[in-house]
Structure 1
Amino acid sequence: MAESFIFSIAESLITKLASRAYQEASRVVGVYDDLQDLKTSLSYVKAVLLDAEQKQEQNHELREWLKQIKLVFYDAENLLDEVDCESLRKQLRITQKDKVGGFFSSSNPLLFRYKISQQIKEIRKRLDRVAADRDKFGLQTIAVDRRVGHKREMTYSHVVESDVIGRDHDKEKIVKLLMEPSLDNNAGSKHISVIPIVGIGGLGKTTLTKLVFNDKRINESFPLKMWVSVHDDFNVRSLIIKIINSPRDFAASTDAPAGQQNLRDLEIEQLQYRLRNMLEGKKFLLVLDDVWNEDRVKWVELQHLISVGAQGNKVIVTTRSQSIASIMGTVAYSHHLKGLSPKDSLRLFVRWAFKGDEGKYPDLVMIGREIVEKCKGVPLAVRTLGSSLFSKHEIQEWESLRDKEIWNLPQKEDDILPALKLSYDEMPSHLRQCFALLSLYPRNFRFDSFGVASLWGAAGLLPLQSKDKTMVDVAHQYLRDFMARSFLHDVSDCGTFYFFGIHDLVHDLAVYVAKDVCQLVNSNTQDISENVLHLSFVENGLPYNSVKPSLRGTRSILFPVDEVGASEAFLNAWVLNCTYLRYLDLSNSTCETLPQSIGQLKHLRSISLRNNKRIKRLPNSICKLQNLQVLLLDGCSNLETVPKKLRKLISLQRLGITTKQSILPESDIAKLNCLEYLRVEDCDNLESLFAETRLPTLLTLQVIGCANLKSLPLDTHHFPQLETMLIEGVGNEDWLHRSENTNSVLRLKTISLYNMVTLPHSLQQYASTLQTLMIGDCYELEVLPEWQLNLSALKFLYIWDCPELKSLPSDIHRLTSLQVLQIINCTELYRKYKPQVGECWPMISHIKHTEIRKTWD
């Protein structure tokens, strides 16, 4: 699967070489002309890569050719990064007047220019040598990536109702919506209400719609019913023909032409006349199944053409995309289809795995329960696995399937993995690589958008920072794109960042597409794939010396599981050999020191030592890493001091600090001109923070567990750009005072408050800007203040782990901007506000999105 990224890599290399910032850097270093020649060679190869990627499945020799190109591209990426590193070194010398190295040092510009020029020539030779073979494969030039996956066969409306399990509740909900006189929220669609049904591939959106379409009540209410299978063909002319041809009694209709095939010979004017004539004055139900196209103009055009029927006409749209649902829907909400219950999943599995004789095989049914757990309620996955075991009664066969990952099983075109992969294939190329990196985390991992942005940024998958957008802004846009494709679930939108998860089957898809690029290492790992770029260690005590690949090209190493961390032996055996390492997550590590040679890993963009309880000092050489964008030292409870000369980290965007120091090196931190995120955690000796220091680029500030903190000036002079703040476990809340000067009040968008007995009265001063408020772990908090109703801009309210909180403000309806209310693990609130049944539910039922859960599980 790695070869599917080659076009994306070529595109990013050429884009980088063409950018003004990189051209300036290459001129500074003195290799501009050499790199422009390389760009020409890359363009020559890129022209045929799309065609090659599409043909590689049927041609082994072509696959090998692509692998060779991939290796050259990796070396080219590393080479361009060398130029970046040297450019940053020069920038540091100029801005901070550091001494220049001697003639024979690695910093000598003439020596560096000669070395890089030779490497560029060598890469060009390799690339030209491989490119010379392109003609023998008969490849065509395709300049733009417009690939979409092979869509499934056209659907039809017939369904055997007895074969469908666990969708009665969903069916009744949709039928109820259809039977209502009008669901119109859009004056422009006077006669039509559109109901979107949204979910990932394989959830059964089409099957549910078939149940609704064939319901007796619907037959009686809608004399005219039409079923159109859309897929990626949202061509208005084609859709008109499909709609005209769709009614079951079409042949008997007096308006029908002599032969349906004649419709394709008609002009668009004649077609729209036929369509409007067919629909005029009639009450109809139209199903548009499996819509992928996000062109709103085409939908509005079709909408106008069909808006000629009677009042109360309805359209059901099934789609994987929330964006499409928003574009087409006119009802107040989309129906987000969820997975089947474990009980219904097992019933469906038994139906597909046995001939009705499951009673003879109780041992197999027990194994079947475990197999069904893999499917996480997705009916198509249940069917895929059940069908593969049909008429097989050997326990070993069932156990073998139970123990295999889904992506390792044979798959037919209409099985679960191909169904999910359609959504992946439809993504633009820049999203595919980002999605693949989500495979580095275990199932059920709770992601935060800052962490994902760090990984993608370090991997070079986010465009260079601009005046208009930070890299985090771009990462958030990518995450919204994934949300729109139903690839993320359990999303907490916190205004300026997200928490989210991914469905287990979506995780399996990520692992499948990332083969040979990303690898999870556990006790079952036999070897590491050659040329793997990203490694994730998910178990403690692994025999690092027995499995050791060539690490020189590895770019990411991470330990994403709590309580699993690296030792000093691991650092010495693995990390220090990774010449081109960009991302190093040593969270929960047990090493007591970092070697001085860490400063030689000049390509590093991100390093985390979070929650290392043993490390006391860091080598000052870490400040030689001018590429470093992320340095996380929070939770390092024994760290005596942060490294000297932090100001040298001129690319640093995120900084987390835990230290025993009583005074932070604020003058150094103030010179970090790219710093956007700062977390100060458990610095018990700190009494004052940034009293005399201005942080002009800081967007997010988190202050956690600083028990003796007495002073933190929260105003626009010190933090002119601050928009997100988290406060947790501070001993003295006096410094959260209300600013007397209204012109200096921060324009905060997001505030998170944890471990508080009461909410600070000063929050009122952010009433006009505050969009997100998170309240968590406030175990003694009993009431929310009535002044909270003054937060006129509040859109998102999250209340987590507040067991003593007895009620919400009585006039919560005054928060007219509130769109999302989430309450989790709050015993009293759950009892009172439980949806539909709680005594206080009517007070919050008007809020667009409410989620009230008894516990986190």
Structure 2
Amino acid sequence: MSIVAEAALSSFFDLLFYKLSSSDLLKIFRQENVDADLKKWAITLWKIRAVLADAEEKQMTDEFVKSWLAELQELAYDADDILDEFATEALRRELNAEEPSTSTVIRFISDCVGLDRDFVTLMRSKIEDIDTRMQKIVKEKKDLELRENTGGRIITTRSRPPSTSLVNESRTYGRDKDKKEIVKLLLESGDAQLSVIPIVGMGGLGKTTLAQLVYKDDEVSRYFDLKAWVCVSEDFDIVRLTKEILYSITLETCHDNNNLESLQGKLQEKLSGKKFLLILDDVWNENYEFWTELRKPFESGALGSQIVVTTRNDGVSSTMRTTPAHKLRELSRDASLRVFTHHALEATDFSEYPELEEFGQKIVDRCKGSPLAAKVLGGLLRTKHDHYEWEHVLNSKIWDIPQEKSSIFSVLKLSYNFIPSHLKRCFAYCSLFPKDYEFEEKELVLLWMAEGFVQETKGRKPMEDLGCEYFHDLLKRSFFQQSSSDPSLFVMHGLMNEVAQWAARDLCYRLEDQLGGSKQSEISTKKRKTGRRC
């Protein structure tokens, strides 16, 4: 079971809770006197869900926790199947109560789902089985000493090393045009008030590298009185960030001072009347209130002061920006090739290793313009000049590469970890799409609705509108992107498709993965059936 399965499991719990509280199902629960049993399910599942975050961390090193999570997943699936059977029976009874003209429909449904049986007796037997298994899981939960999450996001260590402003320009490729555009914006600000320029793009596209190139530009350095670089990352702690900005400007530490009033007053004093450039790298915060609190001291800077923000999320850009975002695109194939060969062969082409060119070209194609992927995969092959090693890397899944040797997966996985649980299952479902498959927004939303992934809200917003919100939430977070051939269609970047496959690998199975191959693979019983065809 992958470590992301708990996130998918948590979102699956949301679906169970929704069904357990559905007015249509509550009616039949009461009719069959099982409402008390299913109310206990909800209470118990809430308690179990509270420890999933801790289980996620521990299952990587504890086989018992890993086994417990697999057992819990099976239980959740079986409970969901029972609730679906109740929903089908409720529909059958509703149709049966209507005009006789619907009898053909009733017979069709009954034949399809096999309702020529004692429904109540069978359901009670299944409920008792779930009760027994659930009590076993609760007991094992106590034995495993799993900690409950009392609320809020658990932030342990940073998911990626903090960035700095240092950059080796001789080892960067394909970003000259982007750099010129950002530098032009900075130098032509004139007498404008404080401006914020976001650089937005998927993880691994080189947003930080572009910001570093801009920060080190000679014209930029001469134009501004002060410059500061701060890596924000996931934890948008205003006190910490204010301290780090102060240190970047003054090189004076403020470890003992946690008074925001004092810190912001000192920062305001240092920036007063100065034209400054501040780089806020890797920002995740979408909370406008937090941002306005952090930026208060910046208002004291001279006209023409600028802030450059790098982020994967266009929602962050919308919260902070004062100018249109700079959308970073994939590297050209030629630039990707230069990145890869530089790190793999310390060369600009394959002239010294012609036997490796075929595999190298395919590896570069797999990177889909991601400089991080080209760098990491090239680095993996730096001391390997055997074409079998290159073929192995070409055919490896990104999650199969040891994390100590590859940062691709951890960088991309971070984006997944930060989306709400209802978006996790919608994104994981997209693993059924082949790579480079172009899809319509409405098409995907209707598929999500058919799978029950779109949940009604208290505001009774139409389901399709809600599904479109889900879609655009994923789009603005760079999980999807517009097709270059047709702006009405969308695609997933090849690496994001691999993340989706990883997220769903215990939940979904794409039959085409085995077609045309000699290997026979047994489909896990954990996979759930779907009618999707691509």
Length-normalised TM-score, structure 1 = 0.57
User: What is the letter of the counterpart of residue 272 of structure 2?
Assistant: E
User: What is the letter of the counterpart of residue 91 of structure 2?
Assistant: L
Q: How does 1:531-610 map to 2 (within 5 A)?
A: 531-533=525-527, 554-560=528-534
User: What is the letter of the counterpart of residue 78 of structure 1?
Assistant: D
Rounded to whole Å, the distance in 1 between the matches of 2:260 and 2:6 is 43
Instruction: Work out whether 1:50 is the aligned partner of 2:53.
Output: yes
Aligned to 2:343: 352
Rounded to whole Å, the distance in 2 between the matches of 1:231 and 1:71 is 35
Aligned to 2:66: 63
SS of the residue corresponding to residue 264 of structure 1 reads coil
**Alignment deviations for residues 257-308 of structure 1 (CA, whole Å, 9 cap, x no partner):** xxx3445325222111101100000000000000001101111122232111
> Any conservation in 1 of the 2:203–2:412 contact (CA below 8 Å)?
yes
SS of the residue corresponding to residue 132 of structure 1 reads helix
Q: How does 1:372-451 map to 2 (within 5 A)?
A: 372-412=364-404, 415-451=407-443
Counterpart among 458, 477, 481 of residue 469 in structure 2: 477
Displacement of 1:54 in angstroms is 2.2
> Any conservation in 1 of the 2:6–2:53 contact (CA below 8 Å)?
no
Counterpart among 310, 315, 326 of residue 302 in structure 2: 310
Rounded to whole Å, the distance in 2 between the matches of 1:465 and 1:266 is 41
Aligned to 1:22: 25
Structure 1: runs of 5+ lacking an equivalent = 185-190, 252-259, 534-553, 561-857
User: What is the letter of the counterpart of residue 530 of structure 1?
Assistant: S
Structure having the larger proportion of residues in helix: 2
Instruction: Work out whether 1:166 is the aligned partner of 2:178.
Output: no
Rounded to whole Å, the distance in 2 between the matches of 1:266 and 1:362 is 59
Q: How does 1:4-19 map to 2 (within 5 A)?
A: 4-19=7-22
> Any conservation in 2 of the 1:145–1:428 contact (CA below 8 Å)?
no
SS of the residue corresponding to residue 289 of structure 1 reads strand
Displacement of 1:464 in angstroms is 4.0
Rounded to whole Å, the distance in 2 between the matches of 1:192 and 1:516 is 49
Displacement of 1:511 in angstroms is 0.9
Instruction: Work out whether 1:503 is the aligned partner of 2:493.
Output: yes
Instruction: Work out whether 1:120 is the aligned partner of 2:123.
Output: no
> Any conservation in 1 of the 2:158–2:233 contact (CA below 8 Å)?
no
Displacement of 1:23 in angstroms is 1.8
Rounded to whole Å, the distance in 1 between the matches of 2:254 and 2:477 is 37
SS of the residue corresponding to residue 227 of structure 2 reads strand
Instruction: Work out whether 1:232 is the aligned partner of 2:234.
Output: yes
> Any conservation in 2 of the 1:491–1:501 contact (CA below 8 Å)?
yes
Counterpart among 183, 202, 205 of residue 204 in structure 2: 202
Q: How does 1:331-370 map to 2 (within 5 A)?
A: 331=323, 333-356=324-347, 359-370=351-362
Rounded to whole Å, the distance in 2 between the matches of 1:12 and 1:92 is 25
User: What is the letter of the counterpart of residue 335 of structure 1?
Assistant: H
The 1:114/1:394 distance shift into structure 2, 3 A limit, reads same
> Any conservation in 2 of the 1:199–1:205 contact (CA below 8 Å)?
yes
Rounded to whole Å, the distance in 2 between the matches of 1:379 and 1:200 is 11
Rounded to whole Å, the distance in 2 between the matches of 1:176 and 1:360 is 40
Instruction: Work out whether 1:529 is the aligned partner of 2:517.
Output: no
Displacement of 1:135 in angstroms is 1.8
Instruction: Work out whether 1:488 is the aligned partner of 2:496.
Output: no
Displacement of 1:498 in angstroms is 6.3
Displacement of 1:419 in angstroms is 0.8
Displacement of 1:27 in angstroms is 2.3
User: What is the letter of the counterpart of residue 501 of structure 1?
Assistant: V
The 1:400/1:267 distance shift into structure 2, 3 A limit, reads closer
Rounded to whole Å, the distance in 1 between the matches of 2:410 and 2:333 is 23
SS of the residue corresponding to residue 442 of structure 1 reads coil
The 1:22/1:466 distance shift into structure 2, 3 A limit, reads farther
User: What is the letter of the counterpart of residue 388 of structure 1?
Assistant: L
Structure 2: runs of 5+ lacking an equivalent = none
Aligned to 2:286: 294
Greater length-normalized contact order (CA 8 Å, ≥ 6 residues apart): 2
Larger deviation: 40-49 or 276-285? Answer: 40-49
Rounded to whole Å, the distance in 2 between the matches of 1:183 and 1:117 is 74
Aligned to 1:246: 248
Rounded to whole Å, the distance in 1 between the matches of 2:286 and 2:394 is 39
Structure with greater Cα Rg: 1
> Any conservation in 2 of the 1:34–1:117 contact (CA below 8 Å)?
no
Rounded to whole Å, the distance in 1 between the matches of 2:459 and 2:340 is 54
Displacement of 1:461 in angstroms is 1.6
Counterpart among 513, 529, 546 of residue 503 in structure 2: 513
> Any conservation in 2 of the 1:290–1:318 contact (CA below 8 Å)?
yes
> Any conservation in 2 of the 1:29–1:83 contact (CA below 8 Å)?
no
**Alignment deviations for residues 347-395 of structure 1 (CA, whole Å, 9 cap, x no partner):** 1111100144954212223431121000011000001110110021112
Displacement of 1:529 in angstroms is 3.1
**Alignment deviations for residues 557-601 of structure 1 (CA, whole Å, 9 cap, x no partner):** 3321xxxxxxxxxxxxxxxxxxxxxxxxxxxxxxxxxxxxxxxxx
Rounded to whole Å, the distance in 2 between the matches of 1:438 and 1:116 is 33
Structure having the larger proportion of residues in strand: 1
Rounded to whole Å, the distance in 1 between the matches of 2:32 and 2:489 is 41
Displacement of 1:150 in angstroms is 4.6
Instruction: Work out whether 1:146 is the aligned partner of 2:180.
Output: no
Displacement of 1:424 in angstroms is 0.4
Task: Give the percent of matched residue pairs that are identical in Structure 1 and Structure 2.
Answer: 36
**Alignment deviations for residues 492-530 of structure 1 (CA, whole Å, 9 cap, x no partner):** 9x9xx9631111111111111211211222222521331
SS of the residue corresponding to residue 556 of structure 1 reads coil
Rounded to whole Å, the distance in 1 between the matches of 2:238 and 2:24 is 43
> Any conservation in 2 of the 1:192–1:315 contact (CA below 8 Å)?
yes
User: What is the letter of the counterpart of residue 287 of structure 2?
Assistant: D
> Any conservation in 2 of the 1:263–1:271 contact (CA below 8 Å)?
no
Q: Compute the RMSD of aligned alpha carbons.
A: 2.6
Counterpart among 155, 161, 165 of residue 163 in structure 2: 155
> Any conservation in 2 of the 1:436–1:511 contact (CA below 8 Å)?
yes
The 1:140/1:461 distance shift into structure 2, 3 A limit, reads same
> Any conservation in 2 of the 1:293–1:324 contact (CA below 8 Å)?
yes
> Any conservation in 2 of the 1:241–1:271 contact (CA below 8 Å)?
yes
Aligned to 1:188: none
User: What is the letter of the counterpart of residue 26 of structure 1?
Assistant: F
The 1:94/1:491 distance shift into structure 2, 3 A limit, reads farther
User: What is the letter of the counterpart of residue 147 of structure 2?
Assistant: Q
Matched length: 517
The 1:413/1:279 distance shift into structure 2, 3 A limit, reads farther
Displacement of 1:85 in angstroms is 0.7
Rounded to whole Å, the distance in 2 between the matches of 1:503 and 1:211 is 25
**Alignment deviations for residues 648-678 of structure 1 (CA, whole Å, 9 cap, x no partner):** xxxxxxxxxxxxxxxxxxxxxxxxxxxxxxx
> Any conservation in 2 of the 1:150–1:422 contact (CA below 8 Å)?
no
SS of the residue corresponding to residue 59 of structure 2 reads helix
> Any conservation in 2 of the 1:38–1:120 contact (CA below 8 Å)?
no
Counterpart among 81, 89, 93 of residue 90 in structure 1: 93
Displacement of 1:160 in angstroms is 1.3
Rounded to whole Å, the distance in 2 between the matches of 1:129 and 1:367 is 51
Stretches (4+) displaced over 6 A: none
Rounded to whole Å, the distance in 1 between the matches of 2:457 and 2:284 is 31
SS of the residue corresponding to residue 455 of structure 1 reads helix
Counterpart among 31, 35, 44 of residue 34 in structure 2: 31
SS of the residue corresponding to residue 79 of structure 2 reads helix
Rounded to whole Å, the distance in 1 between the matches of 2:176 and 2:351 is 26
The 1:147/1:530 distance shift into structure 2, 3 A limit, reads farther
SS of the residue corresponding to residue 282 of structure 2 reads strand
Rounded to whole Å, the distance in 2 between the matches of 1:415 and 1:263 is 31
> Any conservation in 1 of the 2:239–2:258 contact (CA below 8 Å)?
no
